Amino acid sequence: MNTQKAVYEKLFKADKTELAKHEVNLALLQDLQTYVKGTRTVTANYAKYKALIEKNVAAMKQAVESLRVNKDYGKKTLASAQKFKAQFDKLSKELGVNLTGSEADKLISELFMLAEDTDGIIEDALASLNALK
């Protein structure tokens, strides 16, 4: 009977050890599954971000190049507005007529405002691009 008891004890210990191994394997497998699932989600998100960035960069390339090539457009327009204003004042003086408030005067005023607006827009856009670096 002692022999039978010893055999049962050994079997019981063997089953316990085998069960413990399975529990450890199951815990490791669950941790691994959870980590891989989370990594799949992160990888998918990064792929979406990459696609979004590539799409927007492609769309922005033409606009960025236009801004860079024409970065002085506002300043050039301001210089042109000043030339028109000088010509306008000279003509007004030559004719001896006050042209203030005329259509040409209003357009020159608008040109000055557009020059300032354009210069500010280009500077702000280029500053935004520099912030991306």
- CA gap 36, 28 in Å, rounded: 12
- CA gap 51, 72 in Å, rounded: 33
Q: Give the CB-side neighbour count of residue 22, counting CA atoms within 13 A.
A: 6
The pLDDT value given to residue 16: 53
The pLDDT value given to residue 59: 85
Q: Are 99 and 92 in contact (CB under 8 A)?
A: yes
Residues of the chain whose pLDDT is less than 50? none
The pLDDT value given to residue 7: 58
- CA gap 6, 18 in Å, rounded: 18
pTM: 0.59
Q: Return the residue matching tokens 């020059």.
A: 115
**CB count in 10 Å sphere of residue 115:** 20
**Dihedral-angle region of residue 101 (phi above 0 means left; psi in -120 to 50 means alpha; beta otherwise):** left
